[in-house]
Structure 1
Amino acid sequence: MSDDLLSRFDVLLVDLDGTLYAGPSAVPGAVEAIATAQDRGVRTSYVTNNASRRPSDVAAHLAELGFPATTEDVRTSSQAGAAMLAAQLPEGARVLVVGTSALAEEVTRRGLRVVDSADGADAVVQGHSPDTGWRNLAEATLAIRQGALWVATNVDPTLPTDRGPMPGNGSMVGVVRIASGAEPQVAGKPAPTLIQEALRASGRERGLVVGDRLDTDIEGGNAAGLPTLVVLTGVSTPREVLEAPGSQRPTYLGANLGALFQPAEDLAPGSRDGWAVGDDLALSGEGDDLDALRALCAVHWAAGGGAARVRAEGDAARAAVDRLGLA
C-alpha cells in the first residue's frame, strides 16, 4: 500500500458541503478521491450537521454526483440528536420536535414519542427547517422553561445556499436561548457526539476527520480526539487557518481531497525546504504556496497564535502571500 496519508486510516469521516460538493456540483477531484479510497479498502462515512434531510436523501444526492454512497454510510446530526435523547430519556418519553419530518422520524426510531405542544413535553430537540416559525420557537421556549431537556442538532449560525449564507439552526437556537435563559446540549459538530457516532457506526477504528470549516469539522474532530485534515475548497481561508485558536488547528492541511494521496509528513504544519520564517512571521524563499502556509502555521502556533501579520521578503514570497490572502 502507498505510504501516503490515506494509508494511515481505515475510515474517512468527511463533511459534505464545501468538501465534497459546492452548490449543485462535486468539488473537482472529490469523486475520484473517495472512489480510490474505497478501492483501497478505506470506508467513507459522510458526516453532516444538516438535520433537515433523511440519510437516504443525502445518500441519493451523493450517488447522483458520482460518490459511492449508501444510506448506511451517512450520519446526520438528526441521528446524533435522537441518540442523545434516547440515552437520557425512558422509552416513550414525549419529545417536542422543532424541525423537519426527517428529525421526527429519527426520534420515533429511538422509541420516543413526538408531540407538538410544550404541555407535558419531557424534551425538546431543535434542528433546521425552513418552515420553523414563531409558534414553534414559542412552544420550545415554554417547554424548556418548564424543565424539558433541550438538545440542538447543531448550532451553525448560517446555512450555505447558492444565493449565499442564510440563517442556520444556530440562529434559531439563539432565539430560544435568549428567551429561555437555557443552554442546549449539542449533537452536531463542533461537539464530538456526531463524529463519535459516525466512527462507531462505521465499524472501523482509525478515523480521519476531513472538512472545510475550522469551527465545525476541525474543532469537532479535535474534540473527538481524532486526526483532522482541512481542505481549502470551501469556507475556511488560509488566514483563518493561520490565526486559528488551538481547538481549531488541523493536524494536516491540504488544498483538496487530493491531499489524501500525499505523504502525511508533507501535509503537517512544520518547516519546509525552500521557505524560511522568522519569529516575526517574515517569510522568505520560494516554493509551494501551501508549504509556505504550513511553515507559517508552525512558527505562529508555537508562539501562541492569534492575529497574524505576515511580512514577505522577496518577489516569490510576496507573490505567495498575495495568493494565500495573507497580505
Structure 2
Amino acid sequence: MTGSPALADRFDALLLDLDGTVYLGGQVIPEVVESLTAAAARGARPMFVTNNASRHPADVADSLNGMGVAAQAADVLTSPEAAAAMLAETHPAGSKVLIVGAAALSDAVADAGLVPVRLAADAPVAVVQGHSPDTGWRDLAEACIAIRSGVDWVASNTDTTLPTDRGLLPGNGAMVHALMAATGLAPRVAGKPNRPLLDEAVRRAGSTSPLVVGDRLDTDIEAAVLADMPSLMVLTGVSTAADLLAAPPSRRPTFVSFDLRGLLDPDLVAELDPTLPSGWTVDRRDGSLMLSGSGSGDGAQLRALAQLAAAAWKHEMTTVSAVGEPAAAVLTRFGLADAATAD
C-alpha cells in the first residue's frame, strides 16, 4: 500500500465493530484512540455499529468516552435500532409490536413511531426479538402465539453466543432458534451479517463511501460482502490469519491490518489484491503454498499475508511453508506454520 492514499482519506465513514476492534475485555485496544481521532480529523467519520441488543446508544457512547474514545449517541447504531427501522418501513406508525428483549429494544421501537407491547392478546402486527438476560419461557410463549398467527417477525441479530467474563453464554440467536423450532418459521434479521444494520448506518452517516471495519470474518466482513461495501479486517480480535486463508468468498475482506493504525498509514495495511506488487511470491509445491521473498517489518509482512491469502483462495489450499528466513518470520508472526525453512 506504500504510495497509496491512506484509508482515512479514501472513505468518508468508518462502520466500526466494537468488541475485538475498538476494545477487548473491557479495555480499549492500543492505538485505537489516536487512530480514530486522526481519521475523524481527515473526514472519515467513526460510526460504531454493533449487534448488541441490550444497551442504549447513549450508554454505549458513555462507555466509549470512558475509554477515551470520543463518541456521541448519534455515532452509535445498535441492532435494535436497525430492527425498529425495518419494522417502521413495513408497518404504519402507531402499529403494535410485541417485544421480546430488553428496554433498549422497546425504546428503539417506540422511537420509530411504533407501540411496544408484551402480550399476544394486544394484537401486535409484528414480533421483534433481541437479547435480554431476563427473557424467559413466558416471553417466548407470547411471541410463539403471535408468530403462529402470521404476524411479521424481526430479530435484532442471530448471534448464538454472547461473550462474557464467564465465557460464552447463550445469545439472542439461541432464543431465536428456540422460536424457530417451535413455529417452523424464520425471522427477518437486522444485525450483522445481514445488511440492514450497515444500510441504516450508511443512511445515518450520510455516507457515499463507507468502509466496514471489524475483527470477525463471520459477522463484520460477511456483512460487508453482502452489502457490497469494502472492508478492513483487523487482527485484534476473534478471526486470525489462518481464518483469513480459509475464508470462503462470502467472508473475504478488501484490506487487512494489524490494528486501526492501518487507517492512517498506508504501509500498515495490505490490500487483498494479488496483482499488486508485494515483494513476495507464493508457489504450489507438494501440496503446500510456498512463500518466498524478502522484507521485514509490519508492512512487508502484511503484504506477504495478502499474497498468501490470494493464493489460498485461488488454489483452495491453506497449508503453507516458507522458503528462506524472511518468509519463515512471516509464518511465525501470523501463527501459520512451524516456520521451518524449505530449500
* Corresponding residue SS for 1:281: strand
In the alignment, the residues of structure 2 paired with residue 322 and residue 179 of structure 1 have an alpha-carbon distance, to the nearest angstrom, of 48
- Distance in 2, matches of 1:181 and 1:286, equals 56
- Contact preservation (8 Å) 2:278, 2:307: no
Offset at 1:264?
Answer: 8.1
- Counterpart residue number, 1:325: 335
Q: 1:127 aligns with which of 130, 137, 147?
A: 130
- Which whole-Å CA distance do the structure 2 matches of 1:266 and 1:229 have between them? 9
TM-score, normalisation: structure 2: 0.90
With 90-99 and 61-70 compared, the bigger mean Cα shift is at: 90-99
Q: Residue deviations 1:36-93, cap 9 Å, x none? A: 1122222111111101100110111111111111111111111000011111112222
Matched, 1:77 2:79: yes
User: What does residue 277 of structure 1 align with?
Assistant: 282
- Whether 1:65 and 2:73 are equivalent positions in the alignment is no
Give the secondary structure class of the aligned counterpart of 2:49: strand
Query: Aligned runs of 1:157-306 on 2, under 5 Å?
Result: 157-263=160-266, 267-269=270-272, 270=274, 273-279=278-284, 280-287=288-295, 288-303=300-315, 305=316
Deviations 1:99-140, CA, capped at 9 Å, x for gaps: 101100111112212111123222110101111112212221
1:178: Cα distance to partner? 1.2
Q: CA RMSD in A?
A: 1.8
| Contact kept in structure 1, 2:58 and 2:72, CA below 8 Å | yes
SS at 1:205 equivalent: coil
For the 8 Å contact 2:258–2:269, the answer to whether it is kept is no
Letter in 1 for 2:323: E
Moved more, 317-326 or 152-161: 317-326
- 1:313 is aligned, of 323, 326, 330, to 323
Q: Which moved more, 1:20-29 or 1:286-295?
A: 286-295
Contact 1:5 1:264 in 2 (8 A): no
What displacement does 1:15 show? Answer: 0.7
Counterpart CA distance in 2 for 1:13 and 1:118 is 36
Query: Aligned residues, how many?
Result: 324
CA distance in 1, matches of 2:83, 2:260: 28
Q: Post-superposition shift, 1:162?
A: 2.5
CA distance in 1, matches of 2:268, 2:257: 12
Change in CA separation of 1:317 and 1:84 when aligned onto 2, cut-off 3 Å: same
State the Cα deviation string for residues 241-280 of structure 1 (Å, max 9, x = none). 1111111100000000000123289511236544221134
Corresponding position of 2:12? 10
Which stretch has the larger CA shift, 195-204 or 251-260?
195-204
What's the secondary structure of 1:160's corresponding residue?
strand
Q: Following TM superposition, by how much is the alpha carbon of 1:295 offset from its aligned partner in structure 2, in angstroms? A: 0.8
Q: Which amino acid aligns with 1:309?
A: T
Which structure 1 residue ranges, 5 or more long, are not aligned? none
Residues 200-228 of structure 1: CA deviation (Å, up to 9, x unaligned): 10122111110111111111112112110
Question: What residue number does 2:340 align with?
Answer: none
Rounded to whole Å, the distance in 1 between the matches of 2:200 and 2:206 is 10
- Contiguous gaps of at least 5 residues in structure 2: 338-343
Amino acid at match of 2:190: A
Provide the rounded CA distance (Å) in 2 between the counterparts of 1:143 and 1:298: 48
Give matches, 1:16-31, under 5 Å.
16-31=18-33
Paired with 2:269 and 2:20, the residues of 1 have a C-alpha distance of 23
Matched, 1:40 2:48: no
- Is the alpha carbon distance of 1:266 and 1:74 closer, same or farther for their aligned partners in structure 2, counting shifts above 3 Å? closer
The answer as to 2:99 corresponding to 1:97 is: yes
Aligned identity (percent) is: 51
Aligned equivalents of 1:295 and 1:135: distance in 2?
53
* 2-structure distance, mates of 1:57, 1:252: 31
After TM superposition, where is structure 1 displaced by more than 6 Å over at least 4 residues in a row?
none
CA distance in 2, matches of 1:20, 1:171: 26
- Counterpart Cα distance in 2 of 1:29 and 1:200: 28
More divergent stretch after superposition (65-74 vs 37-46): 37-46
Contact 2:261 2:268 in 1 (8 A): no
